[in-house]
Structure 1
Amino acid sequence: MTELAIETHGLTKRFRAQTAVDGIDLAVPRGSVFGFLGPNGSGKTTTIRMLLGLVGATAGQARVLGGDMPRALHDVLPRVGALVEGPAFAPFLSGAANLRRFDAADRHAPPATRADRVAGALDRVGLAHAARKKAGAYSLGMKQRLGLANALLMPRDLLVLDEPTNGLDPQGTREVRSLIRSFAADGTTVFVSSHLLAEVEQLCTHVGVMSAGRLVAQGTLEEFRRSGESRVEVVTPDPGPARATLERLGLATDATGPAHDSDAAASDALVTARFTADDGIDAGAPTADAIVVALVADGVRVRGFAVRRTSLEQRFVELTGEGFDVVA
């Protein structure tokens, strides 16, 4: 059984008449980069605040790094680095001075090595050159990096990052993505909240999708790539036999239309069939190769063949609605 860094059961948060988080069951494997996706206002940040003990749950349970939250708060939080709802720093202090203040507030951080920890964290996020610059003069992207540096002052088993690339230019975004990958390579579990599909595609091994306070789906990124409805497309001058073969294989065929491929002959038709991961190719029968073999065996002249899978963008829109921001 996979060991979990974060586990919730029926986790719920209500604010008077409004249910912000509605009975979610999260399962975040240790060592994963878990993308927590959903539109703004879907309950992601409220969930994170409950996981970190910043707000109490109305109902349900949450376990973080094996400890029941918030009861195990004092044992768990020293092992967690977090950047939630954007970084906040004293604007009149330098970046290094801000980190020294945060480090000094950590009762588990040895004072003798504070200077080395601060310098190392700043260097890791690319801010060594701005260590003495006042935080008030930092750009939004630099403040975001300083927030990451704060989360890295001590070794962490879990990093919780809320919109970690917010405000970063393309180069800064690439650097932060590289940092997150390096954290995971070192064995740290990274929990990334985002509303940007492209960010999650490039970063994450696992995904959970929130919509209107509910966890509507979760699993590995590959499972999401294979989920949803996809299509088999066959270009052939034998549409009738092709349809018969596809239906014999258990695929639901659509109306036959003209082939739009520039290489297709005038007599060619496009035959399409739909399948899902539960009942089609990805369930193990039939495979794409098996479909082509069956078509040829039945005397169908195959001029073109393709499997068109539902894109991640389409899948997330299906789960969360048209209002989901899927643009990087």
Structure 2
Amino acid sequence: MLLPGGESSDLAIETHDLTKRFGRQTAVAGIDLAVPRGSVFGFLGPNGSGKTTSIRMMLGLVSPSSGSVRLLGEEMPRRLSEVLPRVGALVEGPAFSPFLSGAANLRRFDSADPLAPPRTRGARVEAALDRVGLGHAASKKVQAYSLGMKQRLGLANTLLMPRELLVLDEPTNGLDPQGTREVRALIRSLADSGTTVFVSSHLLAEIEQICTHVGVMSAGALVATGTLDELRQVGAARVILQTPDAAAARRVLVGLGLALLEATEPDHVVASVAEGVGGDGDGLRPEAIVAALVEAGVRVRGFSVEQPSLEDRFVALTGEGFDVVQ
């Protein structure tokens, strides 16, 4: 498992052995998360993998069966009243009064925040709506909003006051491609201003485009965590060789320590190597493999190295597919 390092003071979210059971069913099985401050952390996994339950425990919405949570350096839920004003959250979709306008709903939520200054409420509501592209629909009743507009309104609610940490559960749910791009740009701008953003999603493309760090959930367990680059570097690269001397090529590759894989073409030889091919590590480099083949008299008509994609890595970790197209 790849763990981003750091002291507790450097972490926006820290969990140890966080577990939630419902009767005999274990929804979250002892996860250890370390989310660096200032990062955009993608919490990735298939639907039903335990992401939302984990988030609810982090925010103090449900009590863990065991384990501990620290948010912004403070123990949860013991310090909940001190921590939550510093956190914005959108969990399991927004819930608004349908017969009030978007702006009226935000004013209502803002007035419930004892730390929100009433004098600037109108200006802050207007700015939040503009930031998520809902300025034109501020006076429209929420019952007339589409799913995507309601999702945008939920995001606007998290932006009414400055936040050190944003926790967003499926923030692009219901958005069209243009809206999805706008939310991605918004998340990047928030991170650039120093806000830590924790994004839960089952969409690989969303995580890959906006996140600096990733945690992968599967069946309630955290199966990998680290930076995107760290996850990309884990896994076996494939060497694909085209040659009329397939038998001799296989002997050379095996002698170099590569594992043979099934080839789909008779004049192709496919092998895997754990790491280093095509990179800066200590493993075999492509030119060294080709040199060994030529020295052995193998006629090389084609040679390529395929690195594992993030999709390959996640499927290998979870045993399940991900939605990769939006």
1:34-74 CA-partner distances (Å, limit 9, x unpaired): 11111211111010001001111110111111111111212
Secondary structure (helix, strand or coil) at the match of 1:48 reads: helix
Where does 1:222-233 land on structure 2 (aligned, <5 Å)?
Answer: 222-233=229-240
* Corresponding residue of 2:306: 308
Secondary structure (helix, strand or coil) at the match of 2:15 reads: strand
Give the counterpart of 1:86 among 74, 82, 93.
93
* Alpha-carbon shift at residue 297 of structure 1 (Å): 4.6
* Corresponding residue of 2:53: 46
* Alpha-carbon shift at residue 281 of structure 1 (Å): 5.8
2:178 is equivalent to residue 171 of structure 1: yes
* Alpha-carbon shift at residue 169 of structure 1 (Å): 1.1
1:153-201 CA-partner distances (Å, limit 9, x unpaired): 1111111000101111111111111111111121211111111112212
* Corresponding residue of 1:112: 119
8 A Cα contact 2:311 2:322, kept in partner: no
In structure 2, C-alpha distance between the alignment counterparts of 1:164 and 1:181, rounded to whole Å = 13
In structure 1, C-alpha distance between the alignment counterparts of 2:270 and 2:324, rounded to whole Å = 27
My pick for the range that moved more, 86-95 or 281-290, is 281-290
In structure 2, C-alpha distance between the alignment counterparts of 1:110 and 1:157, rounded to whole Å = 18
* Alpha-carbon shift at residue 91 of structure 1 (Å): 1.1
2:195 is equivalent to residue 197 of structure 1: no
* Alpha-carbon shift at residue 280 of structure 1 (Å): 5.8
* Corresponding residue of 2:36: 29
* Corresponding residue of 1:161: 168
Residues 1:325 and 1:255: Cα distance change in structure 2 (over 3 Å): closer
* Alpha-carbon shift at residue 246 of structure 1 (Å): 2.5
CA RMSD of aligned residues (A): 2.0
TM-score between the two structures when normalised by the length of structure 2: 0.91
In structure 1, C-alpha distance between the alignment counterparts of 2:53 and 2:22, rounded to whole Å = 11
My pick for the range that moved more, 94-103 or 196-205, is 196-205
Secondary structure (helix, strand or coil) at the match of 2:38 reads: coil
8 A Cα contact 1:94 1:131, kept in partner: yes
* Corresponding residue of 1:254: 261
* Corresponding residue of 1:270: 268
8 A Cα contact 1:275 1:281, kept in partner: no
Give the aligned residue type for 2:313: R
In structure 2, C-alpha distance between the alignment counterparts of 1:179 and 1:24, rounded to whole Å = 29
Give the aligned residue type for 2:289: I
Give the counterpart of 1:218 among 222, 225, 231.
225
2:184 is equivalent to residue 186 of structure 1: no
Give the aligned residue type for 1:287: R
Query: In the comparison of the two structures, how many residue pairs are matched?
Result: 318
Structure 2 stretches of 5 or more lacking a match? none
